[in-house]
Amino acid sequence: MNSTLIEEQNQIEKLGIFGNYFSRLKIGKMLNKSGIVKTKGASPLELFTIIFNLAFIGKNFFEGVVRNKKVTIGKDAVYNFLNSPTYNWRRFTIFISSRIYLIIKKLLDDSSEEVLIFDDSTYDRSRSKKVELLSRVFDHTTHKYLKGFRLLTLGWSDGNSFLGIDFALLSSTKEKHRYNEINPGIDKRTCGYQRRKEAITKSTLLLEPMVKRAIKMGIRAKYLVMDSWFSMPSVISTLRQHIHIICMLKDHPKWLYEYNGKKLRLKDLYAKLKKKRGKAKIKARVLVTLTDGNKAKIIFVPCDKKRGWLALLSTDIFISDEEIIRLYGKRWDIEVFFKMCKQHLKLVKEIQIRNYDGLIGHTSLVMVRYNILSLFQRESIDQRSFGDLFRACNDELANITFLDALKRIMQLVMATLHKANNLSEKVINYLLDLIMGKAIAYFGFYNNQTPQLEGEWR
């Protein structure tokens, strides 16, 4: 076995329960194919492993790397790893997500349940001042402006599992809303510069390229689900060339739908329709013509808002009304994804980076964390929430770390006893069995871990 394979195996062993997934997904190979290669010092896989583990050992970058004497890699090596403008993190993320998708695909009974989902969420850096491309963004949850970015994400879901496929970390398209500009020293030939140009592009122009990249990598779905922020007719017309659309509609004065030869805004269209009385789940339905001349179905459902209704559009006019509502409900999976990444996987608070490449690299790594957890949950048929699953993985990694350390200590004791004392092998083994038995019982591992430890220190 050559030195590269030995090094990769050592890194996989440090991951505990995730080591098997790193091996199956060929993380080291995928890093290499994405141009994330070793220039000097530690290997990319070793650096990736260290950062990947931080969220699961309950430590941020400062505690887990800077102050951790067990880590032989310096903070500069980690920063250089994340901040390189030549590393193609988008390619790496799509490679890993597509491999996980193919594994989950084999477990599916019905391919019609697969959907792609678009949504965005705020990336809050309100306490920062000198972060590259930091901008003023509007938070639709609090209805206030904050300093940070918008995380535009394309995901895949079958209703049980969600995978983050691709993302764009967006600054503001308006120069007056940007606190900092692109670093002038960036080589314009690198993928890092292209990501920066993408950051100041309108989000609606990025949707089609992201869908095309996912399809090119073999990720399939019958429908693309979107919120009302992306439901302008021009976007629907562009995306429907690749996939059917199901989306919530917004009553915008400039978004018109043709019905009976007249172009109407949404509320005027609803006023023209005959409604169902009582507590009907669907108040009205209609076929309309979009600006590109294609037909689409719009259904109106009751809600508690002041106007009393919500509108859903489907470019597939043959799908049932109930199926439109059910498939749109899968959009909730991406909300869970955002909450999990921010609350448990330390999307924003794990490491403070000012370089835009570093933000992209770390966000890619967080997405890989989520996708591997999603695969772990699916293969385990685990009914726990992602929060519970995350905490269980924390405990598992901590247990493995303790056992590994204990084993090494006992191996050292064994070697010392052999050298310093004239004790028989039988006496030494008896002492070790006695010590290990007491230690395991004290730390509460006896029932689950004793069979794995038997004879390992000898």
Q: CATH number of the domain that 100 lies in? A: 3.90.350.10
Do both 103 and 226 map to the same domain? yes
Residue type at 236? I
* pLDDT over threshold 70, residue 139: yes
Distance CA 287, CA 302 (A): 19
State residue 66's pLDDT score: 82
Spell out where 31-114 has E strands.
none
Residue 304 DSSP one-character state: S
3-class secondary-structure state, position 367:
helix
Q: CA 205, 206, 208: angle at the middle one, nearest 5?
A: 90
CA torsion, ordered 206, 141, 89, 53, to nearest 10 deg: -160
Distance CA 358, CA 351 (A): 10
* Tokens matching residue 306: 């002041």
Q: State the pLDDT confidence band at 406, using cuts at 50, 70 and 90.
A: low
Given 83, 98, 117, which residue is the final one in a domain?
Answer: 83
28 within 8 A of 12, measured Cβ to Cβ: no
Q: Which of 6-15, 204-213, 339-348 has the highest mean predicted lDDT (pLDDT)?
A: 204-213
Give me the percent of the chain exceeding a pLDDT of 90: 59
Distance CA 282, CA 419 (A): 83
Which pairing describes strands 257-259 and 262-264: parallel, antiparallel, or unpaired?
antiparallel
Distance CA 12, CA 18 (A): 8
Do both 325 and 393 map to the same domain? no
Do both 172 and 187 map to the same domain? yes
* Tokens matching residue 262: 């007249």
State residue 381's pLDDT score: 63
Residue 395 falls within a domain, yes or no?
A: yes
Do both 165 and 303 map to the same domain? yes
3-class secondary-structure state, position 118:
strand
Given 30, 49, 83, which residue is the final one in a domain?
Answer: 83
Do both 77 and 203 map to the same domain? no
Do both 208 and 292 map to the same domain? yes
State residue 62's pLDDT score: 83
* Tokens matching residue 173: 């398209």
Q: State the pLDDT confidence band at 442, using cuts at 50, 70 and 90.
A: low
Chain segment 352-369, per-residue pLDDT in tens:
899 999 999 999 999 999
Question: Rounded mean pLDDT of the chain?
Answer: 85
Lowest mean pLDDT across 110-124, 287-301, 355-369: 110-124
Residue 108 falls within a domain, yes or no?
A: yes
pTM for the whole structure: 0.81
Do both 428 and 284 map to the same domain? no
State residue 278's pLDDT score: 77
Do both 430 and 372 map to the same domain? no
Distance CA 126, CA 233 (A): 34
Our count of domains for the chain comes to 3
265 within 8 A of 255, measured Cβ to Cβ: yes
For the segment 415-425, the average pLDDT, to the nearest whole number, is: 63
Q: CA 102, 103, 109: angle at the middle one, nearest 5?
A: 90
Lowest mean pLDDT across 65-69, 204-208, 246-250, 382-386: 382-386
Do both 424 and 438 map to the same domain? yes
What's the domain range around 36? 3-83
Q: Which residue has the higher pLDDT, 10 or 48?
A: 48
Residue 127 falls within a domain, yes or no?
A: yes
Query: Residue 310 pairs with which residues in a beta bridge?
Result: 301
* Tokens matching residue 328: 């749109």
- Tell me which H or E stretch contains 349: none
432 within 8 A of 410, measured Cβ to Cβ: yes
For the segment 121-132, the average pLDDT, to the nearest whole number, is: 94
Given 354, 382, 410, which residue is the final one in a domain?
Answer: 382
Residue 458 falls within a domain, yes or no?
A: no
Residue 64 falls within a domain, yes or no?
A: yes
Do both 195 and 233 map to the same domain? yes
Residue 234 falls within a domain, yes or no?
A: yes
List, in order, residues 6 or more apart from 346 with CB less than 8 Å away.
54, 55, 60, 366
State residue 447's pLDDT score: 44
Do both 56 and 145 map to the same domain? no
Do both 76 and 93 map to the same domain? no
For the segment 140-159, the average pLDDT, to the nearest whole number, is: 92
